[in-house]
Structure 1
Amino acid sequence: MLNTKARTQLQNALPLGMVATKPWLEAQGLSLHFLDNAVRSRTLIPLTAGVYVRLEANLSWKGLVASVQRMSDSPIHVGGLTALELEGLGHYVSIGDKPKIQLYSNSALPRWLDRIDISAEFEWHGTKRIWPETLMHNSQYLRQNTWREALPPLFYSCPEKAILELLTTVPQHTSFEHADQILQGLSNLSPRKLDVLLKACCSIKIKRLFLWLANRQQHAWFKYLTPEQYDLGTGKRLIAQNGKLEPTWQITIPKEM
């Protein structure tokens, strides 16, 4: 028989649709003895070793990521193409049976995340070469997705941050053409946010590539940017293999573009 007070504590700590690890639940004040009894009584359902869901809750990738965000000691957010798709700005819907969810953080994702059977695949992108630690902690450049009422939200990059994150995957996983088409639809970006992000961004490649693509589109916000204040490095940058050199930003681009 489970202690009524501890049962209520468990319900508050682990809402339906979210997951939690045993160490995290213990840190919330639930005893190991209670947790073991909760597993025996099927109040807690093991998803993989040391990771639980309460009762037979239906899991979504949003609930799973919101759970990871809540338990993580360091910032982790949905970014890149997935963040743009959450805003309806992804241009293409993810192809395939399982959507690829782009997660960005300084430290690697917990290993148990890939052991949970769910209709999504998680792709981790390290942020040490993209964003300084201070920006990773700045919620001004994140948005919240209320994936279920009264539960902790899902945090994801604002469009200005997401497009810069997306460019880290060009051309290995995202084509120049796809990135160009996505940026074509981003006519309402905030030049103030872009200016701060471009000053903070650690990647010379991302900044030069973004400025080249943005110059192609000539959105109204482009004229408010200040490239002379961004650290764009020196020398040429090879991005497109067998491409041609773009003279303004000194990057190689596809010959057809």
Structure 2
Amino acid sequence: MSSKINWLVNNTNPGAIVLQSWLTQNGISPSLVRKYVSSGWLNKIRAGVYFRPESTGKLQPTWVEALNAMNEQLELSIYLAGVSSLTHQGLSHYLQLGREQVWLGCSSKHSLPKWLREFDGQNWLFYTNNKLTQTSEKDFITIKVNNREVKASSAELAAYEVVNSIGKHISFEHAAELFQGLVNLSPRRVQSILNRSEAVQTNRLFLFLSHYYQHQWAKRLDESQIYLGSGKRQVVAQGRYDERYQITVPVSFIKSKEENQYG
């Protein structure tokens, strides 16, 4: 086995997407890649994008390999976000029908290569945390999807991303259903994220839902450190007004005084 093909085998996994730009950086030219394609070491997906076939005969990569190629070969910081992160952490029981919609966190959709945006007809949802003043490596975790390691938002950041998407990418009711199950969030991590958030409506909604479901971690949050702005916010049309957080929410989420969740 030649040194170049040996390098390819040692530095990629069966089933991986392999990009020509990365191969060129490591001394493997396009002409050599063409030889690898003709000999079956690589399958061509489109110009500059290849797939290392698996022994099982699998001929097409999944979105997991696409995400890993972005991070490991192009060194673009993108990650599994929002609903997808919660789902693959086992924190969502919401059944998606048809092809899974995959939430990807990125700085800009347009910064991503065309082949990823058009990947095998994948149903992507590109999410940008532009209302957080900054993110930290502590906001992310590594999880396993289809036996592959994937960078993902932590449960706390994913919850924030879901709430921040209400009315844009997700309904209030769906977000609330997901939020109901988040009983084990870290109050320290939640506090850190909300302290960095400039999204007034999102911050208010996050706190509203945390109290609505009476999550124990919510009692340890210091709301005086969280930017809640001023004035009313209409989250849903024809909703009911919540006085504490000055937001309109679906009528079914306003409790009577006897049931008041705030105590």
TM above 0.5, yes or no, is: yes
Is this contact kept in 2: 1:85–1:93, CA < 8 A? Answer: no
Q: How much does 1:230 deviate?
A: 0.8
- Which range is displaced more, 178-187 or 58-67? 58-67
Between the aligned partners of 1:73 and 1:232, the Cα distance in structure 2 is: 35
Q: String of CA shifts for 1:64-101, please: whole Å, max 9, x gaps.
A: 222222234332110101111111111312222x1011
Between the aligned partners of 1:225 and 1:41, the Cα distance in structure 2 is: 60
Q: Secondary structure at the match of 1:146?
A: strand
Q: Secondary structure at the match of 2:163?
A: helix
- The within-5 A match list for 1:80-229 is 80-96=82-98, 98-108=99-109, 109-117=112-120, 120-127=122-129, 129-133=130-134, 135=135, 138-147=136-145, 153-229=149-225
Aligned residue type for 1:105: C
* TM-score, normalisation: structure 1: 0.87
| Cα gap change, 1:72 to 1:230, in 2 (>3 Å) | farther
Is this contact kept in 2: 1:77–1:103, CA < 8 A? Answer: yes
Matching residue of 2:45:
47
Matching residue of 1:31:
29
- The within-5 A match list for 1:1-80 is 4-55=2-53, 58=58, 59-80=61-82
Q: How much does 1:190 deviate?
A: 0.5
Q: String of CA shifts for 1:155-204, please: whole Å, max 9, x gaps.
A: 11111110110112212332222222222211111101101111112322
Is this contact kept in 1: 2:106–2:127, CA < 8 A? Answer: yes
Q: Which runs of 4+ in 1 moved over 6 A?
A: none
Between the aligned partners of 2:26 and 2:237, the Cα distance in structure 1 is: 52
Q: Percent identity among equivalent residues? A: 29
Between the aligned partners of 2:227 and 2:26, the Cα distance in structure 1 is: 44
Q: CA-atom RMSD, angstroms?
A: 2.1
| Cα gap change, 1:26 to 1:148, in 2 (>3 Å) | farther
* TM-score, normalisation: structure 2: 0.85
Is this contact kept in 1: 2:81–2:127, CA < 8 A? Answer: no
Aligned residue type for 1:201: S
| Cα gap change, 1:26 to 1:131, in 2 (>3 Å) | farther
